[in-house]
Structure 1
Amino acid sequence: MSFILNIIWWIFGGIFMGLAYMLWGILMFITIIGIPWGRAAFNFGLLMFWPFGRVAVSRAAYNGRDDIGTGSLGFLGNIIWFVVAGIWLAIGHLISAFLCAITIIGIPFAIQHIKFALMAPMPIGKIIVTKEEARARGLY
């Protein structure tokens, strides 16, 4: 079922949002200082291409310990990301959600876009895992 939903997701805006994340990731990698943000953008971009069956969870909760991206530096990185790219990606998700919600078949995809709009502003410190793996660790 996840495979079919992922294919339909591409039609309902997933491809465009995935490409948007990849574009931001490339722009971040061009500026050497932006590599941590670029890595987060690529992780979420891959999630945009194949979202059903996978979730984003906190790396600290997943690994059971904090790291550089889950502490105060990660918080500062998320603030910078929010200003530079996060707000724009969240707006893109909200526009996509509105367009998907116009049709009945698009409502589940609109809900998915809204979930991503809430995650887009703060991707640093997250890891993408399967739902089964997240459930096994009590994270989903």
Structure 2
Amino acid sequence: MKRCPQLQRASVRQPPVVPSQYTLRLRCELARGGENGQVYGQYRSAQYLLPKGLGLKFSIESTNVPQPYEVTWRIQNSGDEAAAAGQLRWDRNQQDCWTSTKFKGTHRMTCEVKRHGNVVAVAHHFIRIRGAGRR
């Protein structure tokens, strides 16, 4: 039985690459007061360490995927705090996605856009959150 070399090298942690004619750009806004708070700025992917206690609002900044489409947000948290809270992974199916800077570590938000049940565009945004007492 032959083995496919691409499958042998594939990582369980890395999502599959979706070949697509479509583009997808994400926007992450910072909000005071946690989720649904007052938005005051933007955060580019892994731009700098964020403090705990902020709200993060994710949305699609731009895409060329024609309507109608479905949006799924997937978070992959890292670190002992997220693990202890049972929050290493979760999904939400909605246009915009609110979350917060609750757990220290580096986390990845993935947005998947589906048309007719098939994923046609994927984008990732990394969030870096500092632990208590670090500046």
TM-score range, shorter chain: under 0.3
Greater C-alpha Rg: 2
Q: Which has more helix, going by share of residues? A: 1
- Normalised by the size of structure 2, how large is the TM-score? 0.25
